[in-house]
Structure 1
Amino acid sequence: MLDLFIADDHQLFREGLVSLIQSQSDFHVIGQADNGETALDMIKTHTPDVAILDISMPCIDGIRICEMVQQKQIKTKIVMVTMDDDVRTAKRALQAGSHGYLLKDDAFSELIHAVKEVSEHKTFISQKVASQLALSSSEPQSPLTHREKQIVQLIAEGLTNKEIAKKLFISVKTVDTHRFRAMKKLNIHHVVDLVKYAFSHGLVEK
């Protein structure tokens, strides 16, 4: 029996997923939430086998929840269910530790299979997104780590080091270190050029 948790701020969609899962004799829904803060608390408290999360939710988004689950070494596996078919968002989710990336258009036909796959330590990605990921894999890889990209993105969005530190739950000194390393790797010497890099490489929407 697999214990599942579902979080999505669209009530009808969430209840539809709950009904679908409850139709399976080997699945059990232990709870649901309409915001990220409640979702994270539930995952910490109950440690479901699989958590099904929307990316865009009030309070805390699904990707940030995924990062925090990884940081705290919680064994819950996460399947993102989203309308966002942008390959960059999918990469962010997978880099954050998500085991599944399922488009809402495919949710009712593929969710059961997706949950079974991730429960067996496999990765499930909707076919449309998987195809885009395959195409993008041939593109030159960024020299920046995931954390460095995050910080460059937030700098480009206008956040101060203190605001970035608070948002990412790290120290200001750590932000400075990652920014220095990113600029060194990119051979950039001024913050304005770092911002230009972020926009030109898709870290921030134009």
Structure 2
Amino acid sequence: MPIRVILADDHPLVTEGVKAVLETFDQIDLIASVTNGRDAVTAIERLDPDITLMDLNMPGMNGLTATELVLERDPAARIIILSMHDNPEYIATALRHGAKGYLLKDVPTEEIVEAIENVHAGETYLCTGIDGAMQPTLDCDREPLTSREQIVLLRLARGLSNKEVGRELEISVRTVETHRKNIKRKLAIETTAGLTRYVLESGLLGLTD
């Protein structure tokens, strides 16, 4: 039986390129293509693919949040993150959220297929050139941020006050303060300036939610 794959990416050139690649391999069946995280969650729940290729940056809901939601409902789901970012912290964050693989969008055609086959076989796949650089980051035992904490962190890094964050997310200021406290504890960062610097240096500021 072919490996059933869903592609979630909002960039037309990437989508068409990946589609063209996968359609040339008989052992892979691309069963759906969506352009945002919310539709990805729905499609995965409805179609139960063997593998999902998930873009990190998508409108409406980013790939990390979508991955987390999918795995809450089906811990056996296998998701490979697609990204333009090779920052180790970015990659480690994706893996801590449950992704089984991480591919840069400019990898050779054969590597996309190799990643799909390896993850389908139960392995974790990191694309060529980033696996060695990842080891120190993966060895870190820091508690990961939840998707909600990441959303709050991104807004704090953009300079929003607790009140403004609460208004945007429709939560109380006290809830924002709790998230902020937990974020600082998990990252071992005490100041707002430090949180902003962390977001900038890790590349997370580019994520949409």
TM-score bucket (shorter structure): 0.7 to 0.9
Tell me the matched-pair count. Answer: 198
Matched, 1:56 2:57: yes
TM-score by length of 1: 0.77
* 1:166-177 correspondence runs (5 A): 177=178
The 3 A distance-change label for structure 1 pair 155 and 13 is closer
Gaps of 5+ in 1: none
In structure 1, what is the equivalent of residue 127 of structure 2?
Answer: 126
Q: Matched residues in 1 for 2:14 and 2:163: separation?
A: 38
Partner of 2:194: 197
The corresponding residue for 1:146 is 145
Moved more, 33-42 or 156-165: 156-165
What is the correspondence of 1:81-92 to structure 2 with a 5 Å cutoff?
81-92=82-93
TM-score by length of 2: 0.76
Q: Deviations over 1:7-43 (max 9, x none)?
A: 2222232122122222222221111112222222211
Mapped contact 2:78–2:100 kept (Cα < 8 A): yes
**Aligned partner of 1:61: which letter?**
N
Q: Percent identity?
A: 27
3-state SS of paired residue (2:191)? helix
Conservation of the 8 A alpha-carbon contact between 2:145 and 2:186: no
**In structure 2, the residue corresponding to 1:106 is in which secondary structure?**
coil
Gaps of 5+ in 2: none
Mean CA deviation greater in 19-28 or 157-166: 157-166
| Amino acid corresponding to residue 194 of structure 1 in structure 2 | T
Moved more, 12-21 or 62-71: 12-21
Opposite residue 18 of structure 2, the aligned amino acid is: L
Aligned twin of 1:72: 73
> Counterpart of 2:191 in structure 1: which amino acid?
L
Mapping for residues 4-19 of structure 1, pairs under 5 Å: 4-19=5-20
- Name the aligned partner's letter for residue 199 of structure 2: L
- In structure 1, distance between residues paired with 2:187 and 2:54: 34
Larger RCO (CA within 8 A; separation ≥ 6): 2
- Cα RMSD of the aligned pairs, angstroms, is 3.3
Shift of 1:165: 10
Question: How far off its partner does 1:76 sit?
Answer: 2.5
1:70: Cα distance to partner? 1.5
Question: Structure 1 residues 132 and 163 mapped into 2: Cα distance closer, same or farther (>3 Å)?
Answer: same
Aligned partner of 1:125: which letter? L
Q: Is the 8 A contact 2:4 2:49 kept in 1?
A: yes
